[in-house]
């Protein structure tokens, strides 16, 4: 993908620096930790927080804003419920959103596409965190149309879903329905269309993808597609050139073990369990973060604050065949 070029930033660097300093001072989050989570060097982060200005590329600022937004969101959901007091002393008993480099990068990418009303494609293996990104991005937008594609979805179904998101009943020919949607989108140019499981849009033909391109070109709205790497095979076809020339791409690489180890600090569990959960999260071939999340949820539910051991994990694995 070509280097992202951003002409203007909606929020100032000074405001971003203030937010970073607040999180550092209030929550005790080190600038080095922010650097590791975002993949941005510590030096400009530190300079920005202290001086309100720094030499940052626009896409780096977008990634920092994505991290700040998600951090504040995670803290505001239920701050008192993040930990409970137990015999081991204040260990966490609920799951938290893990701000991995992958997640922060994807959120920053989506933020860029939304601000500049681009077509973006987020690709990753099942369990890498795509649906989490969809939920976060959808929840932050005033006008988001969230569609989950399915295997037998036809073009008419896609138009019905978009129409419903706009509060419209779309009848008639495909062209008349498309034009009605375009007119409605022009009245709400800040609308974001998000399609999860987008690899299913390739079924039978590429008409559904072409209609999405028309909506983008004629109404100027942002469109984000989320799918497995299989969608790349369709986007590289000759008959999808018009779409592929307009879009930006982001690919999930999977969580790193060190990120998961850091996130599991504060839970009442054996070190061997930490290592096994970290390995699960990093294993994109077997569900990655999706498997990790389900296993941790089962362990926390089963122990209710008591220590999570290898035996606990083994029992939880009985409910997740294939592990």
* pLDDT for res 96: 79
Torsion sign over Cα 90, 95, 99, 100: positive
* pLDDT for res 204: 55
* pLDDT for res 163: 93
CB contact burial 171-182 (16+ within 10 A = b; e otherwise): eeeeeebbebbb
Which positions ≥6 away from 50 have C-beta within 8 Å? Answer: 17, 21
Report d(CA 165, CA 233) in Å as an integer.
Answer: 29
Residue 171: alpha-carbon gap to chain centroid: 33
Min mean pLDDT across 222-236, 270-284, 296-310 is at: 222-236
Mean pLDDT, residues 214-221: 95
Among candidate residues 256, 279, 281, the one with its CA nearest the CA of residue 101 = 256
Among candidate residues 6, 283, 1, the one with its CA nearest the CA of residue 123 = 1
Mean pLDDT, residues 41-45: 84
* pLDDT for res 77: 35
* pLDDT for res 118: 93
Report d(CA 45, CA 109) in Å as an integer.
Answer: 19
Q: Choose from 19-28, 68-77, 85-94, 153-162 the range with maximum mean pLDDT.
A: 153-162
Which positions ≥6 away from 321 have C-beta within 8 Å? Answer: none
The domain locations on the chain are: 13-102, 117-251, 257-317
By percentage, how much of the chain surpasses pLDDT 90? 40
Q: Which helix (H) or strand (E) holds 278?
A: helix 271-282
Mean pLDDT, residues 54-72: 79
Q: Is the pLDDT of residue 10 over 50?
A: no
The class (CATH top level) of 13-102 is: mainly alpha
Burial class (CB in 10 A: 0-12, 13-18, 19+), 48: buried
pLDDT confidence of 173, banded at 50, 70, 90? very high
Contact 120, 224 (CB under 8 A): yes
Question: Phi and psi of 118, rounded to 5°?
Answer: -105, 170
Mean pLDDT, residues 227-243: 74
* Mean of per-residue pLDDT scores for the chain: 83
Does the structural domain 117-251 have CATH classification 3.40.50.300? yes
| pLDDT tens per residue across span 77-122 | 333 333 322 334 457 888 878 888 888 889 999 999 999 999 999 9
pLDDT confidence of 218, banded at 50, 70, 90? very high
Q: Choose from 38-47, 71-80, 121-130, 218-227 the range with maximum mean pLDDT.
A: 218-227
Among candidate residues 114, 11, 136, the one with its CA nearest the CA of residue 64 = 11
| pLDDT tens per residue across span 135-148 | 889 888 889 999 99
Report d(CA 235, CA 198) in Å as an integer.
Answer: 11
* pLDDT for res 8: 32
Question: Phi and psi of 283, rounded to 5°?
Answer: -90, 85
pLDDT confidence of 274, banded at 50, 70, 90? very high
Mean pLDDT, residues 146-166: 92
How are beta strands 144-148 and 247-251 bridged, if at all? Answer: unpaired
Q: Is the pLDDT of residue 209 over 70?
A: yes
Higher pLDDT, 67 or 85: 67
Burial class (CB in 10 A: 0-12, 13-18, 19+), 243: buried
Which positions ≥6 away from 33 have C-beta within 8 Å? Answer: none
DSSP code for 90:
S
Min mean pLDDT across 21-30, 39-48, 75-84, 97-106 is at: 75-84
Report d(CA 305, CA 36) in Å as an integer.
Answer: 29
| pLDDT tens per residue across span 236-258 | 666 666 666 778 889 998 899 99
Q: Is the pLDDT of residue 299 over 70?
A: yes
* pLDDT for res 166: 93
């Amino acid at each position: 993908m070509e280097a992202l070029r951003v002409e203007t930033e909606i929020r100032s660097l000074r405001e971003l620096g203030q937010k970073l300093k607040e999180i550092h001072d209030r929550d005790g989050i080190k600038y080095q930790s922010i650097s590791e989570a975002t993949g941005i060097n510590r030096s400009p982060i530190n300079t920005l927080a202290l001086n309100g200005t720094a030499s940052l590329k626009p896409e780096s600022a977008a990634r920092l804003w994505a991290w700040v937004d998600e951090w504040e969101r995670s803290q505001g959901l239920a701050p008192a419920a993040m930990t409970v007091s137990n015999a081991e002393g204040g260990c966490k008993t609920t799951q938290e959103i893990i701000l991995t480099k992958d997640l922060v990068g994807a959120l920053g990418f989506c933020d860029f596409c939304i601000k500049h009303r681009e077509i973006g494609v987020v690709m990753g293996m099942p369990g890498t965190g795509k649906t989490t990104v969809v939920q976060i991005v959808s929840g932050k937008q005033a006008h988001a149309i969230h569609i989950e594609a399915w295997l037998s979805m036809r073009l008419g179904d896609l138009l019905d879903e978009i129409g419903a998101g706009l509060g419209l009943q779309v009848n008639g020919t495909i062209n008349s329905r498309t034009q009605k949607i375009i007119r409605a989108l022009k009245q709400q140019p800040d609308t974001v269309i998000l399609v999860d499981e987008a690899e299913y849009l390739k079924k039978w033909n590429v008409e559904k993808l072409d209609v999405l391109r028309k909506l983008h070109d004629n109404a100027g709205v942002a469109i984000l597609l989320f799918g497995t790497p299989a969608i790349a095979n369709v986007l590289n076809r000759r008959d999808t050139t018009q779409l592929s020339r307009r879009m930006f791409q982001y690919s999930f690489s999977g969580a790193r073990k060190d990120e998961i180890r850091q996130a599991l600090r504060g839970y009442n569990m054996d070190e061997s369990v930490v290592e096994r959960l970290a390995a699960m999260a990093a294993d994109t071939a077997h569900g990655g973060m999706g498997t990790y999340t389900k296993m941790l949820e089962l362990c926390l539910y089963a122990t209710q604050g008591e220590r999570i051991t290898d035996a606990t994990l083994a029992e939880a694995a009985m409910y997740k065949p294939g592990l």
